[in-house]
Amino acid sequence: MLTTVLQAIGLFAATNIDDIIVLALFFARGAGQSGTTARILAGQYLGFAGILVAAILVTIGAGAFLPPAAIPYFGLIPLGIGLWAAWEAWRGDDDDDDEAKVAGKKVGVGTVAGVTFANGGDNIGVYTPVFLSVEPLAVVAYCVIFLVLVAVLVALAKFVATRPRSRKCSNALSTSSFPSFSSASAS
């Protein structure tokens, strides 16, 4: 059981550490508004529940329709996702712009849930092979641990967003617009 708990914590940390930045930007955007933390927390839970449901459905489908000999190869999905992301970053096509995910959006439950779910494709790709390789009770344990860690993730993001120095950076990022330069303005 301890192994399952530690694996779940490691898996959650590896797949969700980038969400701290997105959530911190939501906290910066909602600074001074009452209920911001509750809306962000509810949205994060709603979006993450969608990710878990999708991962479980893919796991059930893969377990039902794939031959047992193919299941170990599901572990190649996260590797493929990582290689694709590395290729896009190397080519300069990486569109993983955290500011763009929250720009112009009000801090509401639906917005946070939508951004969380949209940002969770890698989670589904990583959770599915893990869920396929463990017993159903372990999948339940993983999900419970993940849901507890969602609150920890939101608390960490709020901590990051409310530090004096990071608040300045978060506010600058959440409200910035970069000027466009054209040849006409160069004269």
Does residue 187 surpass a pLDDT of 50? no
Tokens for 116, please give them. 């969380």
Q: DSSP letter string over 115-173?
A: HHHHTTHHHHHHHHHHHHHS-HHHHHHHHHHHHHHHHHHHHHHHHHHHSHHHHHHHHHH
Is residue 57's pLDDT more than 90?
yes
- Kindly compute the dihedral angle of the four CA atoms of residues 64, 68, 72, 74, in this order, to the nearest 10 degrees: -30
**Cα–Cα distance for residue pair 174/99, rounded to 1 Å:** 6
| Confidence (pLDDT) at 11 | 94
Gap between the Cα atoms of 121 and 156, Å rounded = 22
Tell me: the pLDDT tens digits for 140-173?
999 999 999 999 999 999 999 888 764 555 555 5
CA 168 to mean position of chain CA atoms: 23
Question: Is 119:7 a contact under the CB 8 Å cutoff?
Answer: no
Measured CA to CA, the distance from residue 47 to residue 17 in angstroms comes to 16
Give 17-52 pLDDT, tens digit per residue. Answer: 989 999 999 998 888 888 889 999 999 999 999 999
pLDDT at 184 over 50: no
Please, what's the b/e burial string for 26-41 (b: 16 or more CB within 10 A of its CB; e: otherwise)?
A: bbbbbeeeeebbebbb
Question: What is the pLDDT of the chain when averaged over all its residues?
Answer: 81
Q: What pLDDT was estimated at residue 186? A: 43
On the question of pLDDT at 97 being above 80, the answer is no
The single residue listed with the structure tokens 């914590």 is 9
**Nearest CA to 37 among 151, 175, 118, 116?**
151
Is 11 strand, coil or helix? helix
